[in-house]
Structure 1
Amino acid sequence: MKLIRYGQAGAERPGLLDAQGVLRDLSMLLPELGPAQLNPRTLAALAAIDATRLPAVEGTPRLGCPVGGVGKIVCVGLNYADHAAEAGMQAPAEPVLFMKAVTSLNGPNDEVRIPPGSQKTDWEVELGLVIGTRASHVSEDAAPQHVAGYVLANDVSERAYQIERGGQWVKGKSYDTFAPIGPWLVTADEVADPHALDLWLEVNGQRVQNGNTRNFIFGLPKVISYISQFMTLEPGDIVLTGTPAGVGLGQKPAPWFLKPGDVVRLGASGLGEQRQVFVGG
């Protein structure tokens, strides 16, 4: 299934895309698409519904983050060798973890705000996974059982905040609107192999990132198991799994970054596309 939250920010309603790509309203069946609805039993019940009997949603409403009530966003840094190289860093021996604030969550096509005075706002196309059942100290073999589904994400970053201001990366990752997620949550049963997904991103029509999740340094079972040794992953948590080469920081012959008016498009196999206009903060 492709599950969606649509409507004005803060008042999103649950929906799904039927086989013909028609957005259907789920609000008569579910109050929300959040942690309580991401368990295998509820998802199986939704999959059994004849979606054509649900009300069609007219027009082209705004899409929000497809998961409501997100508790935390855990990110894996430098998870592609080519990205580590362009950042001038060694490929890590263990997953590099950092957080994004939940206040950075944004709809997939909403405007993204560049912080006042920022000169180094950057892009990162990523595969995200959404936790469906509680995961604490899970094995790699058991880890996939805890995944409700997958999302497309743009891990927007302010590199001066991240690298030049001391402390942890979270400062450069958490500005409001810096986590566009969606357009939909694709349930795990519809993603045959999350380690074989193409990822791409364009800035003003120029393709700058082309990658594939087969090039992960650490695969998803390792990532989930590893994170769960340090913190409990709860239903609704989002894990961003890293970006391939081609970010602004790594552009040659010199880095270049986003400015007001720039348009970013990105996509991933089976996970849809996003489009953001970057505006002054």
Structure 2
Amino acid sequence: MKPYYEDDTVQLYLGDMREILPSLAVQADLIVTDPPYAETSLAWDRWPDGWPTLAATVTRSMWCFGSMRMFLDRRDEFADWKLSQDVIWEKHNGTGFAKDRFRRVHEHALHWYRGPWRNTSHDVPRVPSTGGHQGGPASRSTIAHTGTIARQQWTDDGTRLMRSVIKVRSTHHAAIHPTEKPLGILDPLIRYACPEGGLVVDPFTGSGSTLEAARLSGRRAVGIEAHEPYAEAAAERLQQPYLVDLFGGGAA
């Protein structure tokens, strides 16, 4: 099958992922995707039935963006997966269409995996420390609600594990796709679950953000997009070299 766009590290295909993904016969290190939630009347916002089961045939690790309503409504379709954790993307702005609810300024990204956890790539990104904690000898936690947990000896290198709530500016008016994710939220998810040089797949490519983030982090990427206007926009984006500030959320 001929790619819609291709370069040294990225391939982009046009069509329904349920038809294209099996034909590619790829084994990916990671899927990172933002599927249609089926929560609006927009033409492209239609849930492709069975896609999580199909995704499980090509990888053992997946970050999937979605609303809590989406995950609860579709929970049976994730039966092939085990949930590892959730990360919250905190936006600098949000939507406030409903006056009887809190203003929504966040989105969920859930990490799913298959098989033994030890066989799943997981390398938490580290960020500069703002505290004054020092390293110490091995100890055991006595926090009541966690039970007894062994703590290994560690040396303070000036960094800490990245927190599970990550604040990144949304793409706002520069967005190509209405649900486009900024590079700054995609980069740590990719670095966490895909080894350098590995393959990232996004079966709902949209604007191409996942492909761009993967390429910038030294990974390879394959994307699939069902709607040609967005595939065309993603291909145009991928052809344009530019400097980015990953945690600033956009092109320089």
Scaled to the shorter chain, the TM-score interval is under 0.3
Judging by fraction of residues, say which structure has more helix. 2
Largest Rg, 1 or 2? 2
Normalised by the size of structure 2, how large is the TM-score?
Answer: 0.28
Normalised by the size of structure 1, how large is the TM-score?
Answer: 0.26
